[in-house]
Structures are given as C-alpha cells and as structure tokens.
Structure 1
Amino acid sequence: MNKILTLLLILLSTQLFPQRNQNSISGGLVTGTVFDFESKHTIEYANIVLLSPMDSSLINGTITDANGIFSLSGIQPGKYIVEVRFIGYKYESFDIVVTAGKKNMDLGEIYIKPNALELKDVVVQGERSPISYQIDKKVIDVDKIQTVMSGNAADVLQNVPSVTVDIEGNVSLRGSVNFTVLIDGRPSIMSSQDALQQIPASSIQNIEIITNPSAKYDPEGTAGIINIILKKNESLGLSGVINANVGLYEKYGGDFLFQYRTSSLIYMLGMDYNKRIFPGNSISENTYISQNSTSYLNSNGESEWGRIGFGIRGGIEFNFTESDFINLAVRYGTREGNQNSILNYDNWSSNSIDTLSYINMTDRIRDGEYAGSNLTYIHKFGGSNHEIKGEFNYRYNDGDESTLTESLDNGFILDGKKTTEFGPSNELEAKIDYTLPFSDVRKFEAGYEAEFENSDENNALYLYDSLAT
C-alpha cells in the first residue's frame, strides 16, 4: 500500500511541474479591439507594437484581424508601451505593467482618429500644345517652345508633323523642298531655305503650315506654304524688345524690335544679325563589286559650313477708320554662306596592289542682298473675318554663288572644276482678295492677281586643263 501511494505522489508531482513551466514560458497576454473614431467601424491590419520604455526599441508586434481584434502573447513581466498604428491615423499609446500576478490585460475598445492635415491651396495648371489645328492649317506657337529661342525658323520646325529638317538646317515639307515661304502672309524676298534659316525664332509669333493651299496663296504646284507671323506689340506709346544669343563654334546673334503706337498710327523698326558656324568630320567607306574584281573608295577629313545673315525692317500702319487700315512695310538684308571640306581619299582594287591616294578640296561661297516693300489695304465688313484686301508687292534679289572643287596629289592638281551663278531678279505683284466666312468650317474666297518678273541669271562652268599649266 505504501509503494502504491508513493508511486501516485511521484506521478502527481510529474504532472504539476510541467504545467508550471509552461505558464512561465507563455508569459502575459494583451488583447483589444481597434475602431475608427468617426465611423465606429473596426479596422483591419492595424499595427500593434510592443515597445521598451527605456529606448523605444521594438520587442513584439502583431496586426488586427478582420474584426479589428488583436492579441499579443508571450510578454514577460515588466513595464511596456503598447502603440496602435495605422496609415492615415494618429497613434494611440498605452503604458502597461505585466506582473506574475497580473499577466493578462484587455485594453478594451481602442478608437483611433484620422490624421487630417491642413494643406495650402493646390493650383493645377495646364498648357496647350504648341501646335494647334485650324480649318486649313497647322499653327505653331513659337513662344511655347523655349528650347529654340536662340535658333531660327528652321529650328522651330524640327518637331512639327509633315516637316523634316536635316543636319544642315535644310527644310522639307511633306518630303519636298519645293514649298513657298510667306512672311506675315506676303511672299518672302529671300528663297524659302534662306528665309527659314535667317529669321530669328525670338522675333516670330506663330508659324502656319498650310499643306493644302487654295488659289489665294498662288501655290504654283508647291508642296505647301509656310507662313511666318512676326511679333508685334499692342501697347500704346514706345515699346521694344531686345534678344541676344551665343553658343559654341562662333555661334552668336541678336535682334531688336521697337515700336511706337498711337490710337491710329503705328511706327515699327527692327534689325537682326546671326552668325552660325558648324564644324564637323566626314568618314566614308565604299565598296564596288563587279564580276571580275572588287574596288574600294574610302575617305575621311574635316568639313565646315555656316551662314551669316543681317536684316533690317521698318513699317508704318495707319487706321483711318475702325474698318479700314493701310500698311507700308520695307525690308533690306544681306546673307553670306560658305561650305568647305578637305577629304583624304584612298582608292584601290582587288586586281592591283597599288593604291591611289589624293586630297579633294571643296569651297562653296554664296552671298548676296535682298530688298522688298509691301503696301496693303484692308477693309473689314461687319462679320468676323469678312474682308476685302488689296496688296502691292515689290521684291529684289541679287546673289552670287561659286563652287570650287580640286583633287590634289602631293600639291599637284589632278582634276578640278568651278561653277558660278550670279545675277539679279526683280518681281512686281498686285493682288486683291475677298473673304466671306459662312461658319467656323466654311468660307468663300475670291480674288485676282497679276505678277511681273524679270530675272537676269548668268551661269558658268570652268574645267581644269592640265595641258595649260
């Protein structure tokens, strides 16, 4: 009987001690439920963190379930801080003490408040695209393209649909260089390419691209029309603007425009000067394969091209009634362009061990002057854009161009040629146009135009004669 009693005591002792150790390991328990202070709804995924009061280090943590309930277990006796955190809400914190006699603690219902921040007014600004589309044209607002203000009209057109500009600044409209340039709706005194490369972007208000021009613009089979609208000032009294630009490789220029305006008269004077030099390198490798042999022609060297432009313009406009005004504008300018290169050539073939090496030099010079005047009268009727306009234009252009090409070997000329072109041209134009709009998308136009042109061109070709030396 004593043995049985001793065995029972041993078994009972064995059961009691493990139970005591388990309670010691599990520690205290903190529970609670998190609510939104305003809506009174429970909050899921709120963060519950247990921190040390000494250094705020993280000891334990959990999140609330779908019913907003949380449970932190395994807390050893001691002092702690319990924080309730959720994005967009203010923190709530509690100081708790876990002892051997008080291990379990229910924080009950915890209401957290939204963390509202008072912000200053938010202003949302939007800008229209620099390109807008009208009934018969695309319009480019140059002031919205700040990156080209130090360039010219050709630089403005680089990112315009249907227009391409090559590395030398030559413009193509719908894949063709055969287009017309107008300045303030009037034919340019200069050639199309010269006008686009010489007019500073800072003096341009808008550029209109007309790819399907009517007979009013006298397109003459061109790919379209580029109309450059120059800046004007609407302020009364004396006003003006001055621009200057500078860049690498001898690129600099500037322009100014002054205007004096009264209620019925406008006087305007402007001037521009631009110099643009573009150095570069050229590398070319050509292979020609025939039935019996293969030949090679490689070249490398340096090139430079540039242009210098100067222009002065003036005008006077008189509004003698609210519906009638007359305008007289004059312009004079000079231009100078050059393009030269020095290239080293190597020519050989698979059938020969000899290599022909020589130097090719090209020097192209193009300069001249131009002048023009325009007299315009406009009468406006009652409706919007309902008007009749008469114009008288005179244009003078005189240019010289020469190109010299030489092939040299050890300083001796192997081959060469020179071409020249010079001579003035005069053009006189008179036209009258009538416009009657029916709606925003329909209008009636009629007009008459007479044009007289006199051109004196002299072209010459000179070939190098090795026997004459």
Structure 2
Amino acid sequence: MQGTLQEVGSGQPISFASVVLLRSRDSTFVAGTQASETGAFVLARVPLGQYVLRATAVGYRTGRRVVALTAAAPTLALGTLRLRLAATQLTDVVVTAERPVVSDGLDKKVVDVTKDLTITGGTAIDALQNVPSVTVDQTGAVSIRGSGGVTIFIDGKPTTTTLDQIPASSIQSIEVITNPSSRYDASGAGGILNIVLKKERRDGLNGQASATAGTGEKYNTSLSLNYRKGKLNAFGSYDFRRDRRRINGTLDQTTTANDTTLLLHQDRSGVNYQTSHAVRLGLDYALTPSRP
C-alpha cells in the first residue's frame, strides 16, 4: 500500500507526516510509517481486510480514508491524499482532553493506570495484572505474551527496585515495548516494561495527597510535591503502604522411579503482612524543549 501526501490548494508535499493503518472494526493498530521528504509513504506486508488510513502532520487537519485489501487486489496504490491546513489564528484557547486508557504507537503500547480504581492501595504488581498481554505469576515474575526475560525500566532507566516496592498510586502509565529500538539494551529478550511515574508538568508548586483504606487491614497514603520553573523541575514523594493478605494453596505431586511411586500432597495457608515506606526525590533539567 503506497501513496503521496500533499497540501490542499498549493499541492506542496507534506514531509515526514505520520501515517497509521487501523483495523476498521475496532481501531486496532496494524501498521505505521513516516512519509518521506517528498510526502511519499509505503506500508508493506499488510494482511487482507478492511482498514482506516490516518495521516497526521503538524499544522494540518487529520486525514482519513477507508481502504480495503482483498484477494483480488492484495496491493493498493492510493495516489495523492490531500490534507487541509489547520486554523492558526487562535487566542486565549484552553484545550482539555481525556487520555485514552490504551494507546498504540509504532514501537510500544501505553496503558494509563491513573483511572484504574482496582489498583488503589496496591503495588506495581497489581497495576501490571490489568495490562493487556502482560502476565504476573505468584512469584512476581513478569512475562509478555508468554515470554519471560522481561526487563523493567522506571522512567526509561534500568532499575533494581522490585515491583512490590513501587506503590501503584505513584504510577502514571506503563509502556509495553515488545520490539525495543536501539536506544534500549538488548538484554530484554522478552520485551521491556517502562513504568512512568507521576510528575507534574505545570510551572509553580504543585502537590497531591491521598489516603485509602480497605477491609482486611489494607492502608495506603501518599504525598507528592513538585516545583517547576522553566527548564528546572524538582520533585519528591512519600508513600506508605500496609497490606494483609491471606494465602491458601494446595500441591499434589506424583513421582515415579523404577517400581516406586511417590505421592505428595501439601496444603498451605497463612497470612502475609507487608509494610513499606517509599521516598523518591529527583531533579530534572531539560536541555532541549520537551515533545508532547
């Protein structure tokens, strides 16, 4: 599938625009690419089906076109797609938007966990259990699509902190990277999970405090403060968590060696208490303007 992006009216090519192909029935991400300097783009190895092609570029309205690949026409030449200029004369406009819970990109899937009430008072393990394609077993081992060897990052940096030490209340989003780019270490054979912690982006002093309580002696409190001035950003947070969980388990095992058969039956029950204090302090300085 190939085509060219041009501006309506002038016919000028739209360079380096983002082109994404979504499945029409559920808007699932299928493929994506970036247009060349001449506005040309190619999407290769696209399976047959009904799709919506979406093209976006800064300063232009989003362009959409419904396309279909069939057995009779497995490839498609779209020709020229024209995008209209967006309005630029805006004064005193404030735009507020809700982030989608799950958003797909070219190399990762981003899950916003701030609105997930089921993880309130929990840890990063509870947050990961609600992330699509991610599985956490009883020992805390993480796998992506059934593959182990997952590398855990915090704010894009490797960490030795265990998942049960990260309060869920301090997490902004979780990025699932199944095909890491060259910027990441290749040690994560099964993929990379990047846990993005909350950080206020408005200038001035900002803070947030919360306290939750649940049945069975479950308590969680958190306090975060953030001061931003231009390119300088200082932040800190404190989280306290106490959790009591009852454990029940049964194990049946049969072992046969030569003419001997050994049967093992174990019942396990108990109460697990966890109390944690987490303190985070940091200082950022943006050498270059941040991208949205």
TM-score normalised by structure 2 residue count = 0.57
- Is the Cα contact below 8 Å between 1:249 and 1:279 reproduced in 2? no
CA distance in structure 2 between the aligned counterparts of 1:177 and 1:303, rounded to whole angstroms: 29
Shift of 1:137: 0.1
Shift of 1:237: 2.6
Which residue among 284, 288, 312 is the counterpart of 2:279?
Answer: 312
Which residue among 221, 235, 245 is the counterpart of 2:212?
Answer: 245
Q: How does 1:40-189 map to 2 (within 5 A)?
A: 129-167=100-138, 169-189=140-160
Shift of 1:306: 4.8
- Is the Cα contact below 8 Å between 1:155 and 1:169 reproduced in 2? no
CA distance in structure 1 between the aligned counterparts of 2:206 and 2:99, rounded to whole angstroms: 28
CA distance in structure 1 between the aligned counterparts of 2:273 and 2:149, rounded to whole angstroms: 22
CA distance in structure 2 between the aligned counterparts of 1:299 and 1:174, rounded to whole angstroms: 31
CA distance in structure 2 between the aligned counterparts of 1:148 and 1:290, rounded to whole angstroms: 46
Letter in 1 for 2:142: V
Shift of 1:188: 1.6
CA distance in structure 2 between the aligned counterparts of 1:254 and 1:167, rounded to whole angstroms: 25
- Is the Cα contact below 8 Å between 2:143 and 2:190 reproduced in 1? no
- Which residue is 1:392 aligned to? none
Which residue among 298, 307, 316 is the counterpart of 2:265?
Answer: 298
Q: SS of the residue aligned with 1:239?
A: strand
CA distance in structure 1 between the aligned counterparts of 2:107 and 2:214, rounded to whole angstroms: 37
Query: Closer, same or farther in 2 for the Cα pair 1:128/1:288, shift >3 Å?
Result: same
Shift of 1:235: 3.1
Query: Closer, same or farther in 2 for the Cα pair 1:242/1:289, shift >3 Å?
Result: same
TM-score normalised by structure 1 residue count = 0.37
Query: Closer, same or farther in 2 for the Cα pair 1:164/1:274, shift >3 Å?
Result: same
Query: Closer, same or farther in 2 for the Cα pair 1:276/1:282, shift >3 Å?
Result: same
Deviates more, 1:199-208 or 1:163-172: 163-172
- Which residue is 1:213 aligned to? 180
Which residue among 251, 257, 262 is the counterpart of 2:229?
Answer: 262
CA distance in structure 2 between the aligned counterparts of 1:146 and 1:266, rounded to whole angstroms: 29
- Is the Cα contact below 8 Å between 1:154 and 1:170 reproduced in 2? no
- Show CA shifts across 1:55-97 (max 9, x none): xxxxxxxxxxxxxxxxxxxxxxxxxxxxxxxxxxxxxxxxxxx
- Larger C-alpha radius of gyration, 1 or 2? 1
Q: SS of the residue aligned with 2:278?
A: strand
- Which residue is 1:394 aligned to? none
Query: Closer, same or farther in 2 for the Cα pair 1:292/1:302, shift >3 Å?
Result: same
Letter in 2 for 1:268: F
Letter in 2 for 1:247: G
Q: SS of the residue aligned with 1:144?
A: coil
Letter in 1 for 2:125: A
Higher RCO, 1 or 2 (CA under 8 Å, sep at least 6)?
Answer: 2
CA distance in structure 2 between the aligned counterparts of 1:146 and 1:159, rounded to whole angstroms: 11
Shift of 1:207: 0.9
CA distance in structure 1 between the aligned counterparts of 2:222 and 2:101, rounded to whole angstroms: 23
- Which residue is 1:234 aligned to? 201
Letter in 2 for 1:159: N
Misfit runs of 4+, over 6 Å: none
Shift of 1:288: 4.8
Shift of 1:217: 0.8
Q: How does 1:291-370 map to 2 (within 5 A)?
A: 294-318=261-285, 325=286
- Is the Cα contact below 8 Å between 1:282 and 1:303 reproduced in 2? no
Once the two structures are aligned, what percentage of the paired residues are identical? 40
Structure 2: state its 5+ residue gaps: 1-96
Q: How does 1:394-413 map to 2 (within 5 A)?
A: none
- Show CA shifts across 1:193-228 (max 9, x none): x1x222222211111010111221113253111111
Q: SS of the residue aligned with 2:179?
A: coil
Letter in 2 for 1:135: L
Higher strand share: 1
- Is the Cα contact below 8 Å between 2:151 and 2:187 reproduced in 1? no
- Which residue is 1:379 aligned to? 288
Shift of 1:164: 0.6
Number of paired residues?
A: 196
Q: SS of the residue aligned with 1:215?
A: coil
2:189 counterpart of 1:222? yes
Structure 1: state its 5+ residue gaps: 1-125, 319-324, 326-377, 386-469
CA distance in structure 1 between the aligned counterparts of 2:138 and 2:206, rounded to whole angstroms: 37
Q: SS of the residue aligned with 2:129?
A: helix
Letter in 2 for 1:157: L
Shift of 1:148: 1.7
- Show CA shifts across 1:412-456 (max 9, x none): xxxxxxxxxxxxxxxxxxxxxxxxxxxxxxxxxxxxxxxxxxxxx
- Show CA shifts across 1:296-354 (max 9, x none): 33232423445433221222334xxxxxx2xxxxxxxxxxxxxxxxxxxxxxxxxxxxx
Shift of 1:160: 2.4
- Is the Cα contact below 8 Å between 2:121 and 2:218 reproduced in 1? no
- Show CA shifts across 1:266-323 (max 9, x none): 32121122233322223334445677565433232423445433221222334xxxxx
Query: Closer, same or farther in 2 for the Cα pair 1:235/1:129, shift >3 Å?
Result: closer
